[in-house]
Amino acid sequence: MAPIVAGKSSEAAVTDINGQLGSGLVHIRNPHLDLMSEDILYHFGLGTKTHDLPAMFSDVKFVCVGGSANRMKAFALFIHKELGYGSDQNNIADICAGTDRYCMFKAGPVLAISHGMGIPSISIMLHELIKLLHHANCRDVVIIRIGTSGGIGMRPGTVIITDTAVDAFFRPQFELTVLDKVVIRSTELDKELIQELLLCSQEISQFNTIVGHTMCTYDFYEGQGRLDGALCSFSSQDKFDYLMRACSAGVRNIEMESSVFAAMCRLCGLKAAVVCVTLLDRLQGDQINIPHDVLADYQLRPQILIAAFIKKHLGLNT
Ligand SMILES: O=P(O)(O)O[C@@H]1C[C@H](O)[C@@H](CO)O1
Ligand SMILES: O=c1cc[nH]c(=O)[nH]1
């Protein structure tokens, strides 16, 4: 089946998006939505008739997303304190408490949301998040994924800012089957935002941060060339050769959400970035066996960088 390549149509999309970016509004690319009298954001437990979304969210300027609910709650508490709103846990309530699919916390202009693991999970969250930002009339929103990853030839604890998310063939694209057609979308991320984040990390100077390609896979084990899953059909040499080819193609880390995140945010005119810490060097092994306190310290690194970035944007001292 011939895929629908996003080449020409995505160029048209960029023109569209630029127009939309002028107003700063989120670009919803679905004509059916206007015909609906109510929109239920089922996995958030929110809706346009049951909740006053503009009153709840119109001041949102930064959205931070990550896989784990606990990490995103910890980030919400951290940013709440960093922005000077205090450290009282009681001030942070889960806005999606009506459902256990995702959790969502708000600290002033910052929204923190968990997205679970993998492309299907983050993509459902993004559909509802992007519609939420649209219904709430949010403007000039920056969205950042703060996650964990496996590095390739990187010292564990290195923070990688993604320039382009690539697939398992190292192509800068995300493929989705829509009806019975394969749709291909670009996974390029905002260059200006990448440089701003890199500068921020140099200013805080607390950990090594680099810019590179991030490979996004559909699986943690075989899909990332691990030898320690329940199934494995390749040799350790095959694994090593594949990771070395990825490295030669510019891939510096591997995770499981960046491609659909980049593609959807780009098409909807959202300035987006992916910032992931590496938990291990995949050329050295597959198992994540670092002590709990080291893991906690590593997971904090993208949060520290993004907190500094947000504070800088808000004109607060870092
Ligand atoms: O945001 P997180 O740390 O969940 O991202 C990576 C990619 C997968 O979701 C998960 C695998 O452990 O970690
Ligand atoms: O190796 C790793 C570590 C975290 N997340 C991944 O997807 N892969």
Higher pLDDT pick, 3 / 25: 25
CA–CA distance from 269 to each of 170, 276, 303 (Å)?
Answer: 24, 22, 24
Helix axes 191-204, 292-313, angle to 10 degrees: 110
Q: Is 221 in the pocket of ligand 1 (CB under 6 A)?
A: no
* Dihedrals phi, psi of 95, to nearest 5 degrees: -70, -25
Determine the residue of 119, 167, 255, 287 to mutate for testing ligand 2's pocket, defined as the one with the most ligand atoms within 8 A of the Cβ atom: 255
Q: Which of 235, 23, 252, 55 is nearest to 141 (CA)?
A: 23
| pLDDT higher than 90, residue 87 | no
Q: Name, in order, each residue with C-beta under 8 angstroms of 162's C-beta and a sequence gap of 6 or more.
A: 189, 194, 211, 212, 213, 214, 253, 258, 262, 273, 274, 275, 276
146 is in an annotated binding site: yes
Give the rounded percent of residues in the chain with a pLDDT score beyond 70. Answer: 93
Q: Give the pLDDT mean for 263-287.
A: 98
pLDDT at res. 168: 98
Q: Hey, whose CA ends up nearest to atom 4 of ligand 2?
A: 149
Expressed in angstroms and rounded, the spacing between residue 195 Cα and the centre of ligand 1 is: 24
Lowest mean pLDDT across 35-39, 91-95, 151-155: 91-95
**Statement: residue 5 has pLDDT above 80:** no
- Distance from the CA of 149 to the center of ligand 1, in angstroms? 7
Cα–Cα distance for residue pair 282/152, rounded to 1 Å: 5
- Calculate the alpha carbon distances from 115 to 122, 128, 183, 234, 305 in Å: 5, 11, 23, 31, 20
Distance CA 193, CA 201 (A): 12
Higher pLDDT, 23 or 27: 27
286: CA distance to ligand 2 center in Å? 9
In which band, very low, low, confident or very high, does the pLDDT at 318 lie, cut at 50, 70 and 90?
low
Please work out whether the CB of residue 67 comes within 6 Å of at least one atom of ligand 1: yes
* Ligand 1 atom closest to Cα of residue 288: 12
pLDDT band at 22; cut points 50, 70, 90: low
More confident of the two residues 12 and 73: 73
Given a cut of 80, whether residue 137 has pLDDT beyond it is yes
Q: What is the pLDDT of residues 269-280, one digit of tens each?
A: 999 999 999 999
Counting atoms of ligand 2 from 1, which one is nearest the CA of 150? Answer: 1
Cα of 149 to ligand 2 centre, how many Å? 4
pLDDT 10s digits, 242-262: 999 999 999 999 999 999 999
Position of tokens 């960029």?
14
Mean pLDDT, rounded, for 46-71? 98
Q: Annotated binding residue at 195?
A: no
> What is the model's pTM?
0.93
Nearest Cα neighbor of 266 from 18, 4, 8 is: 18
Residue 14: pLDDT band with limits 50, 70, 90: very low
Q: What would the pLDDT profile of 188-206 be if each residue is shown by its tens digit?
A: 999 999 999 999 999 999 9
More confident residue, 20 or 135: 135
